Each structure stands twice: as C-alpha cells, then as structure tokens.
Amino acid sequence: MKKRIKRAFLLIFSMLLLIVLVVIIYVSTMLPNVGEPEDIIIEVTPERVERGSYLANNVTVCMDCHIGRDWSYFSWPIIKGTEGQGGEIFDQSMGFPGKFVSRNITPVNLGEWTDGELLRAITTGVSRNNKPIFPVMPHANYGSMDKEDIKDIIAYIRTLEPIDHQPELSRSEFPMSLILNTVPKKANFGTRPPKTETLKYGKHLVNAAACVECHTQKVNGQVEGELFVYGFEFKFPDGAILRSANITPHETGIGTWTKELFVARFKAYSDSSYIPNKVKPGEFQTVTPWMFYGEMTEEDLGAIYEYLQNLKPVNQVVSVFEPANKLQKKSKKG
C-alpha cells in the first residue's frame, strides 16, 4: 500500500514537473508573440516632425527617460545636446525587479531599425530582436493611442542628432526574466478625439502621458486600489522618499484646484524667467518632469484638468515627501 502511494506521489510530482517545464519552454521560446512588424515607410514631413516633437517632449515625454539630466537641480533639468542618448537607470533601489536602462534612440542606435520595427516596439513592447521591453516604457498606453500620433513620434525620432553613447543593457531578475515574455500585447489603436470633445480629448492625453503609471498603486504590476489616488514610492540616494500625489477631484487631491491654478502650476516651469534651483540633500525633490509638461498648450492642460475633475473623488491624504532625517527619527522611535 505504501509503495502504491509512493508511486502515485512520484507520478503526480513528475507530471506537475513536466507541465512546469513545458510552460517554461513555451514562455521562453514562443513568447512574446505580437506578430511581425508592419512593412511601412513613414514620410518625415515638417508637419509630422513638429507634431512628433510636441508629443515626444511634452505629452508622452519620451525624452524624460532618453536624455541626460542634471540630478542636482529641481525636477532634474535636461542637459542640452543629450537628446535621445538614453542611459537613465531604473533598478532595485527604486523597487524594480532588475536593472532597466533606457536605450539610445538616436540614429546611432536606431538607424538600421525599420519604421515598422519602431512602431511595434513603441506600441507592443517588443524589440527588433523579438525580445520584450520592460514596461517602464508604458507601451500598453502607447498601443491604444492614435496610430498617426505614433508615426509622428517616429518621424521626429528620425531627426535627432546622432549621439555615440551606448548605455549598458537591461537585466531582469528571475522570475521577471521569464514573466516579462508574457507582458507584450498587440496594439489596439484608438482615434484621437477632436479637441471640442473636451472630456474624451482629456482622457486621450492622460493616457498618452501615462499619468496612471505613477499615480496609481500597483503590486507585481497589477493595479491595487483606486486609480489616480497615489502610486509609487520613489526612493532617493540619500534615503528620502517621494510619493505620487492624489490627483482625483477630492479635497485631499485636486478637488479645490481651479482650472487656472492647475494650468498655471505647469506653465510656471515654461516661463522664460524660471530658473531651476539647486536641491540640497534633504530638501524636497520631484520626479515629475515639470519642464516637459509645462510646454504643453494651455488648451491641452485644460482638457487634462477637465478629465481629472470628472474622476471618482477619493479621500486619500498622501505624505508626498519625507526627507531621510525624518525617516531615520521614525526608525529610532520604532
């Protein structure tokens, strides 16, 4: 009897092990599977480049990650002449399951990529060599944008000055190195609403700007809790913690803000008189790319405001910034 039970146990264990191995082999060799890149050629017209520049710099803010930044100043202003060079790091210290480094997107690195390969990478998260791209680049958001907007961004990228800079390759920890293959999905393009349909147009912009990615809490990549309430904890090298704010229309969020105040909050950073201040250790710092978003048109910022004001109000007080010395005092008391 004991031998039968033992044999049955070994048989069940062997079957389970075989199933696991089959799944691992399938995920490792057959995924991601989003189809072949389209055979397209995007005409680089002045109109496309102008629109693409606006989107890439001020809405989807591609340049927020693919550029050199001066980390000693507020909101980390850009270093001129580094547009597209990449190299920004998202690693374990920030809560990521590995070390992910933004790529060089100038012609030095993307010169041999076809337009179809770029379109697929941006909107599905699959690189030229069919490898998955970690969704710190929110390709799911871009995959639901208007296809013409993505084409405009590609046209703009094609005009960047070549920069010979090769950031290190990204590396995922296990099991993310396996799970990552399951993340890419085929694009499901939408249509950009007319600006006269303010709420729909505002929603379109909020999706393109991927506001939900920072302002919504996620656990293991899955949304937990209400949207737009608060999200990541960003840890700075000195130990300080920054938390994304509640941007729902509750009084603990932006419920008391007028449209004029909301727009002015962003436009202050595009004013010609604005000079970023030096941030000393322990002083308030932010990861919000204010100087990128500040160049959005007042009409677009206003549409974003209108959309956010129509969200479900959620009562959630967020302690946005805690300097390292305050956290150390808490730890000692604990």
pLDDT, position 113: 97
Question: Above 60 in pLDDT, residue 331?
Answer: no
pLDDT, position 334: 47
At 88-123, the pLDDT tens digits run 998 888 778 999 999 999 999 999 999 999 999 999
Question: Above 90 in pLDDT, residue 221?
Answer: no
Chain centroid to CA 161: 24
Highest mean pLDDT among 173-182, 271-280, 298-307: 298-307
pTM score > 0.85 for this model? yes
CB-based contact 202:143 (threshold 8 Å): no
Instruction: Give the pLDDT mean for 17-27.
Output: 80
CB-based contact 100:91 (threshold 8 Å): yes
Question: Above 70 in pLDDT, residue 327?
Answer: no
Nearest to 214 by CA among 184, 234, 236, 187: 234
Question: Above 80 in pLDDT, residue 141?
Answer: yes
Instruction: Give the pLDDT mean for 286-302.
Output: 95
CA distance 29 to 256: 52
pLDDT band at 281 (very low <50, low <70, confident <90, very high): confident
Terminal CA-to-CA distance of the chain, rounded, Å? 56
The number of beta carbons lying within 10 Å of the beta carbon of residue 298 is: 13
At 32-52, the pLDDT tens digits run 999 999 999 999 999 999 999
pLDDT, position 29: 77
Instruction: Give the pLDDT mean for 291-300.
Output: 96
State which amino acid sits at residue 199: L
Question: Above 90 in pLDDT, residue 267?
Answer: yes
Question: Above 90 in pLDDT, residue 19?
Answer: no
pLDDT, position 96: 86
CB-based contact 201:303 (threshold 8 Å): yes
Please tell me whether the peptide bond between 32 and the residue prior to it is cis, using omega within 30 degrees of 0: yes
pLDDT band at 283 (very low <50, low <70, confident <90, very high): confident
pLDDT, position 332: 46
Give 68 or 8, the one with higher predicted confidence. Answer: 68
Beta-carbon contacts of residue 320 (< 8 Å; ≥ 6 apart): 242, 243, 244, 245
pLDDT, position 1: 63
Question: Above 90 in pLDDT, residue 28?
Answer: no
